[in-house]
Amino acid sequence: MNARWIAFGEIEVEGKRYTHDIVIDAGRVSKRDKKASKACRDQYGHTPLSGEERIPWGGTRLIVGTGESGSLPMMPDVWKEAERRGVEIVAAPTAEALQLLGDLAAKDVFAIVHVTC
Give per-residue pLDDT as tens, 20-49: 999 999 999 999 999 999 999 999 999 999
d(CA 48, CA 84) in angstroms, rounded, equals: 20
pTM: 0.97
- In this structure, what is the dihedral angle of CA atoms 8, 18, 57, 110, given to the nearest 10 degrees? -80
Give per-residue pLDDT as tens, 44-101: 999 999 999 999 999 999 999 999 999 999 999 999 999 999 999 999 999 999 999 9
The CA-atom distances, in angstroms, between 65 and each of 90, 92, 116 are 8, 5, 10
**All structural domains of the chain with their residue ranges:** 3-114
The pLDDT value recorded for residue 63 is: 98
d(CA 32, CA 54) in angstroms, rounded, equals: 8
- For residue 43, report the phi and psi dihedrals to the nearest 5 degrees: -65, -35
Check if the beta carbon of residue 1 is closer than 8 Å to that of residue 109.
yes
The pLDDT value recorded for residue 103 is: 87
Topology of the domain covering 3-114: Hypothetical Protein Mth938; Chain: A, (3.40.1230)
